[in-house]
Amino acid sequence: MKNNRRSFIKLAGIAAAGLALAPKAMASGGGAAPVKVNATAIHAAHWAMVVDTTKLNTAEGIEKLAHVCHAIHNVPTIPNKQNEKWLWGAPYDEAFPEQENPHLSESVHTREYPLLCNHCVNPPCVRVCPTKATYQRPDGIVAMDYHRCIGCRYCMAGCPYGSRSFNWGEPRDYLDLKKLNAEYPTRMRGVVEKCNFCVERLAIGKLPACVEASEGALIFGDLNDPDSDVRKVLRERFTIRRKPTAGTEPSVYYII
C-alpha cells in the first residue's frame, strides 16, 4: 500500500475508534463482582438501639449481657486495666457527664448504665483512622476490619466514649480456648476492638446478641423507618444520648 495522506487519515480514524471502544469491550468481559447480600439478612437504612434504663440498670444485669456478648465474640476478660470490653456498665456521672446536676433523683444516681459503641452518625474514630481499618457502613454501623488495623490507637484517642479497647498482649492468653465460639475469630496482639452491633448476626437474620438476651430492655431497629420499634419507643419516651456536645450523633439512645 502506498503511504499517502488519504490512507494515513483512514488508519488514524480506525485507531481512534478502537481507542474509544476498547475500554467498554474490556469492561464487559469482567462484569460485576459475583457477590450479593445474604438472602436471610435483615436490612435497615440506619441501625439504632434504645436502652431502657428503667428496666436494665444493675451491674449484675449488665454483666449478664456483657457475658453473652463477650462469649460469642471471643472477647477475653483480663483482670487488670488492659481489659477488653464491648459492653460494660458505668454510673450516671461517667455515662452522662454533661447531663449531670447536683439534684438529680436518687434512683438515677444509684443505677448502672449499660455502655457500648454508639455507632455514631459522625464517628470521630473513622475520621482519624489512617488505614481505613474502621469504617462506617451504609446502614450506619461503625465496623472494623481487623486485618488492616495497625494498632496506632488514634481511634481510641478520637472516641469520646471509651468504646474501644486495645489488645496490649495476645488476647488468646486470657481466653478459655475450650469454650471459644468456633464460628467467630479472636483478635491478635496489637489491634483495637469494639462492639460491631453484631453485623455477623444481622447478616444471617438474627438480632444482636445483647438485644436478644435483654428481655425487652434493649430495643433495636431502623432509625429511618417511622414504623420501626426504635422509632415507636423514641416517639413515646424521653431519651438522651451520651455527650451530645461532642457532635457525634450517637445511634444509641437512653431512656432515663
Partner 1 sequence: MKMHYGAPIIVGLVIFIGALCAPFVVGTAVTKTYKQPELKMPANEKECVESKEFMREKHMQLLNDWRDWALRDGKRTYTNHAGKEFTISLQNTCMKCHVSKADFCDKCHLDAGVSPYCWDCHVQPEGLK
Taken in order 80, 82, 85, 90, the sign of the CA dihedral is positive
**DSSP class of residue 72?**
H
List 31, 177, 226, 227, residue binding partner 1 (CB under 8 A): 177
> What are the C-alpha distances in Å from 161 to residues 105, 117, 123, 233?
24, 8, 11, 24
Cα angle 129-68-50, degrees, rounded to a multiple of 5: 65
When asked if residue 131 is in the footprint of partner 1 (CB under 8 A), the reply is no
Of 21-29, 136-144, 153-161, 237-245, which segment contacts partner 1 by CB under 8 A?
136-144
Ramachandran angles phi, psi of 105, nearest 5°: -60, 150
List 2, 6, 106, 183, residue binding partner 1 (CB under 8 A): 183
Amino acid sitting at position 41: A
List 172, 232, 241, 243, residue binding partner 1 (CB under 8 A): 172
Q: Minimum distance between the CB of residue 123 and partner 1, rounded to whole angstroms? A: 16
When asked if residue 137 is in the footprint of partner 1 (CB under 8 A), the reply is yes
Q: Minimum distance between the CB of residue 80 and partner 1, rounded to whole angstroms? A: 22
Sorted by sequence, the CB contacts under 8 Å of residue 214 that are 6+ apart come out as: 56, 65
User: With respect to partner 1, which residue has the nearer C-beta, 186 or 214?
Assistant: 186
Q: Which residues bind partner 1 (CB under 8 A)?
A: 33-39, 41, 74, 135, 137-139, 143, 145-147, 172, 177-178, 180, 182-188, 199, 203
